[in-house]
Structure 1
Amino acid sequence: MSYANTEETISILRKILAIPSPSGNTNEVISFVEKFLTELEIETTRNRKGGLIATIKGIDSSKHRILTAHVDTLGAMVKEIKANGRLKIDLIGGFKFNSIEGEYCQIETASGKKYTGTILMHQTSVHVYKDAGKAERNQENIEIRIDEKVHTPEEVRALGIEVGDFVSFDPRIEVTPSGYIKSRHLDDKASVAILLQLMKQLKSENMALPYTTHFLISNNEEIGYGGNSNITPETVEYLAVDMGAMGDGQSTDEYTVSICAKDASGPYHYELRKHLVQLAEANKIKYKLDIYPYYGSDASAAIRSGHDIVHGLIGPGIDSSHAFERTHQSSIENTAKLLYHYVLSDLVL
């Protein structure tokens, strides 16, 4: 049995990583995904929140599946134009100021103009500030140095920059000869790339799915409500494809597919979890079971919104989540394999 081409998946991943898409400003990347799927002749529709739903009809249309991955990322907004011509920012998503210190960024104005800058501590220069290393990394001390000749708020506003403009971070994409993929925003663009390649494979092989299956590319997951709507009444199973978190006490690694048993929202559906494990073992797919203590997914958001569904969560293992992320192509491959077998399998209920 064939599987998705990992090199093609990484090629797709490079393209979507290069498109800025902080939560709240995702139209460009959604348009890219929409065009990709339209060229495959896969039916798509946008929901009012701006997410994209692709549908592949199955043999049985009385019961549906939904698989989701989110294309929105962490980012920021201009909070204030400071007296020195630099920008104070407000964070979009759950991360810390220290994780973006020193990063290149892009400011997009409401008219669509784009300017580059660098995120720095106000007290960066050790030749001037005695407390440069000790000062707290917070909203008061972190600022954007714009790559333009601006020294006053009036000069900044003359560029078209204003409070509420979106700020995105340079992903710094790199694929190493040893198979590692280093980039910001692998959460969750790695999973989006996997789903896009899966759909391409299903179409190219003319595979008949047992059940009508929807693929939701959500665009507000980082702020908590990306995939909690547009769930058809026929939906039985809802599988979120999102990153596996790594750290002390975690089982997840960069080489396997992570199957989540529980996160901050509570346990995922036990029978679906066991079904995923059985599929992995039967098809010699390397996996890890794990619990994420400070995590929520589109699947848990769907449950909280009241949908009567079976929910699960799997994904590639991502190191240093919400910061300097990294995974390995073997984790991409194992996740793709499990998804391939899952969409061809029977429902657990």
Structure 2
Amino acid sequence: MARHSIDTDYLAAQLRALLAIPSPTGYTDTVVRYVSEELQRFGLEVELTRRGAIRAIRQGSRRAAARAIVSHLDTLGAQVKGLKSNGRLELVPIGTWSARFAEGARATIFAEDATYRGTILPLKASGHTFNEEVDTAPIGWAHVELRIDEIVRAPADVVKLGIDVGDTVAIDPQPEFLDNGFIVSRHLDNKAGVAVMLAALEAMERAGSKTPVDIHWLFTIAEEVGVGAASILKPEVASMVAVDNGTSAPGQNSSEFGVTVAMADQTGPFDYHLTRKLVRLCRDEDIRFQKDVFRYYRSDSASAVEAGHDVRTALVTFGVDASHGWERIHMHALRSLAELLTAYAVSALEIERDLKQSGDLAGFTRQPLAEAGDE
């Protein structure tokens, strides 16, 4: 079989390590260093963009028509919007997530020269003071504040700590790894995707696998704010598979088990041929899968295409319950996804025309529908 044996202990260990590193968009240097060192441990040469997106190329038989596998290192978070008269902090979100899930979160404030701890609270947090109003207060970022665990009663006290407008706030993940395979945490989007990629790479290195083309292992740093893989692809990349979370929720076909292959997101359908190849690999390699269409979702693939890269794109996901909130996944999906990535990496090149960036009709793909004039 083309799929490789995945070391789930290694996968879990990497996920634990990644979750322990705060990395809201804009504050990703530390996680970039960690992942780069792990890639170098596998013998890969790491190349960083100016801001820290990672490219590591595992050489195959050919450079042209290279394949890229991408996930993002950045997570949701918040920034200081203002210093309030009571010595607490007004916040705005980094990325799109509900203040409903921010309420009660423990957090770290990254000031200019120090870090501080605190809790995000609703403006009416005390039931002994506000009685039933704690349950009827509005929800939104204008209705929460960050209480700093220091002696601060006024904006001047906050300024003395070195905390200012624009400082980054990282939300504690508080992960739980259960014996039954479930993992519950914040920021599984997309620390779990990064761990899946590292586990797939570890399996390939352990097996000494050869690939028909170069595989570009990419890790972006601003997907949660829409930038993603906009500026990390090299011209020789012909296809890119994004690894991210699928939304296991009412009205969706995603699952916390097996691979969920996205057929489309809010930017439109993914590449017909690449997506169907991934589905075929799941069938051939006996990897459980399901398909889904995401309505309010975009990934690294969308940003790459919008930036003008002419690449085939696909999205494969691990199902997440309560995405961008208190997220839950299962190790079965992570293992299945890593298996699919290994099978894809070693699979034969089927569209020879992809070796060139452009050409005439010779070798151009066909879809299984009779074209005009065909008999």
TM-score (norm 2): 0.91
Match of 2:191 among 189, 202, 212: 189
Deviation for aligned residue 1:209: 1.3
Q: Report if the CA contact (8 A) 1:237-1:347 is conserved.
A: no
Q: Evaluate the alpha carbon distance shift between residue 229 and residue 320 of structure 1 in structure 2; reply closer, same or farther with a 3 A threshold.
A: same
- 1:68-217 mapped onto 2 (5 Å cutoff): 68-111=70-113, 113-130=114-131, 131-217=133-219
Deviation for aligned residue 1:35: 1.0
- 4+ residue stretches of structure 1 with deviation over 4 A? none
Q: Report if the CA contact (8 A) 1:254-1:317 is conserved.
A: yes
Deviation for aligned residue 1:256: 1.2
Give the number of equivalent residue pairs: 348
SS at 2:128's partner residue? coil
AA partner of residue 77 (structure 1): Q
Match of 2:286 among 284, 287, 291: 284
AA partner of residue 22 (structure 1): P
Q: Report if the CA contact (8 A) 1:119-1:144 is conserved.
A: yes
Match of 1:229 among 225, 228, 231: 231
Deviation for aligned residue 1:204: 2.4
AA partner of residue 208 (structure 2): N
CA–CA separation in structure 1 for the residues paired with 2:31 and 2:291: 31
AA partner of residue 345 (structure 2): V
SS at 1:127's partner residue? helix
CA–CA separation in structure 2 for the residues paired with 1:117 and 1:4: 39
SS at 1:330's partner residue? helix
SS at 1:30's partner residue? helix
SS at 2:329's partner residue? strand
Deviations 1:44-70 (A, max 9, x none): 110123211111011011221111000
CA–CA separation in structure 2 for the residues paired with 1:347 and 1:272: 11
Q: RMSD over aligned Cα, in angstroms?
A: 1.1
SS at 1:334's partner residue? helix
CA–CA separation in structure 2 for the residues paired with 1:40 and 1:196: 10
Deviation for aligned residue 1:143: 0.3
Deviations 1:274-298 (A, max 9, x none): 1111100011100110001000010
Q: Report if the CA contact (8 A) 1:275-1:348 is conserved.
A: no
Structure number with greater Rg is 2
TM-score (norm 1): 0.97
Deviation for aligned residue 1:348: 4.5
SS at 2:315's partner residue? strand
AA partner of residue 126 (structure 1): G
Q: Tell me the residue number matched to 2:358.
A: none
CA–CA separation in structure 2 for the residues paired with 1:335 and 1:140: 39
Match of 2:240 among 224, 238, 241: 238
CA–CA separation in structure 1 for the residues paired with 2:350 and 2:72: 24
Q: Report if the CA contact (8 A) 2:200-2:339 is conserved.
A: no
CA–CA separation in structure 2 for the residues paired with 1:253 and 1:230: 30
CA–CA separation in structure 1 for the residues paired with 2:282 and 2:206: 23
Paired-residue identity, %: 36
Q: Report if the CA contact (8 A) 2:78-2:91 is conserved.
A: yes
Q: Tell me the residue number matched to 1:337.
A: 339
CA–CA separation in structure 1 for the residues paired with 2:162 and 2:43: 40
Deviation for aligned residue 1:139: 2.6
CA–CA separation in structure 1 for the residues paired with 2:322 and 2:280: 29
SS at 2:13's partner residue? helix
Q: Report if the CA contact (8 A) 1:3-1:340 is conserved.
A: no
CA–CA separation in structure 2 for the residues paired with 1:139 and 1:301: 27
Q: Evaluate the alpha carbon distance shift between residue 129 and residue 230 of structure 1 in structure 2; reply closer, same or farther with a 3 A threshold.
A: same
- 1:254 pairs with 2:256: yes
CA–CA separation in structure 1 for the residues paired with 2:158 and 2:16: 32
Q: Evaluate the alpha carbon distance shift between residue 262 and residue 123 of structure 1 in structure 2; reply closer, same or farther with a 3 A threshold.
A: same
CA–CA separation in structure 1 for the residues paired with 2:64 and 2:344: 18
Deviation for aligned residue 1:346: 2.3
Deviation for aligned residue 1:177: 1.1
Q: Evaluate the alpha carbon distance shift between residue 157 and residue 198 of structure 1 in structure 2; reply closer, same or farther with a 3 A threshold.
A: same
CA–CA separation in structure 1 for the residues paired with 2:47 and 2:190: 21
- 1:328 pairs with 2:307: no
SS at 1:154's partner residue? helix
Deviation for aligned residue 1:230: 2.4
AA partner of residue 237 (structure 1): S
Q: Give structure 1 stretches of 5+ with no counterpart.
A: none
Deviations 1:32-52 (A, max 9, x none): 001111122111110123211
Q: Report if the CA contact (8 A) 2:78-2:168 is conserved.
A: yes
Q: Give structure 2 stretches of 5+ with no counterpart.
A: 352-375
Deviations 1:201-242 (A, max 9, x none): 222222111110111110000000121112111111011011
